[in-house]
Amino acid sequence: MSAPNEVPALVAAALDLSRQRGFITSTRNETGRLLAALAASRTGTLAELGTGCGVGSAWLSTGAPKGSRIVSAELDPALAEVVQKLFAEVENVEVTSGDWSTLEKYAPFSLLFVDVHDVKRSVDMVADLMAPGGIAVLDDFTPSAFWPPIYEGRVDTVREEWLTDERFTAVEVLIDAGASVIIATRR
């Protein structure tokens, strides 16, 4: 196990790949540690929508218990191939090439990390992928001290919908002074 200021080797490799490929907005370490902690409480199939360079999947893998499976979908086939090589020696991670819908066949998910903007906008789409008691983690929110939540001078309808949908018990969690995630558990 790594110290709080260090990252596990698999995560470091994914971060290196991100830097090499010019991705500067990969999963934050704070979000990654949260993903690893949540993954440790899950069994069955965990997923990431929006693989990128595999940073989120690497964090999930570091926390997931033995016997769990992690699937991830990357839209760019060339990038998916590179990330598949990154995880070649990791038994519990499978990276597919395609959009988010290529993972529907693996549902229901006990944990789903949503890092695809269009999918995050659809509570219905995500709800249909979740097992009862499954947890969805939605990344890349800017904290708002207001209700309804405000972003760039307008009501953040995506965040408002997630925090009020009756199919989920949801909370916004501050992970940094300028960043938050929504954690939503399927009822």
Tell me, yes or no, whether 1 lies in a domain: no
Token pair for 117: 């903007």
- Only one residue has tokens 């540690």, namely 33
Tell me, yes or no, whether 125 lies in a domain: yes
Cβ count near 18 (within 10 Å) = 18
pLDDT tens-digit readout, 51-71: 999 999 999 999 999 999 999
Cβ count near 79 (within 10 Å) = 19
pLDDT of residue 146: 87
Tell me, yes or no, whether 164 lies in a domain: no
Largest Cα separation within the chain, whole Å, is 46
Query: Domain range holding 123?
Result: 9-131
Which runs of consecutive H residues, i.e. helices, occur in 64-135? Answer: 77-86, 117-120, 123-129
ω into 77 cis (within 30 of 0) = no
The number of distinct structural domains making up the chain is: 1
pTM exceeds 0.85, yes or no: yes
Tell me, yes or no, whether 157 lies in a domain: no
Tell me, yes or no, whether 75 lies in a domain: yes
pLDDT of residue 30: 93
Least confident residue range of 18-22, 25-29, 77-81, 145-149: 25-29
Q: Which of 8, 25, 13 is nearest to 82 (CA)?
A: 13
pLDDT tens-digit readout, 68-91: 999 999 999 999 999 999 999 999
The whole-angstrom separation of Cα 10 and Cα 139 is 21
Percent of the chain with pLDDT over 70: 97
Tell me, yes or no, whether 165 lies in a domain: no
pLDDT of residue 121: 80
Query: Cα dist. 24→20, 28, 53 in Å?
Result: 10, 10, 11
Tell me, yes or no, whether 46 lies in a domain: yes
Tell me, yes or no, whether 168 lies in a domain: no
Q: What is the CATH number of the domain that holds 86?
A: 3.40.50.150
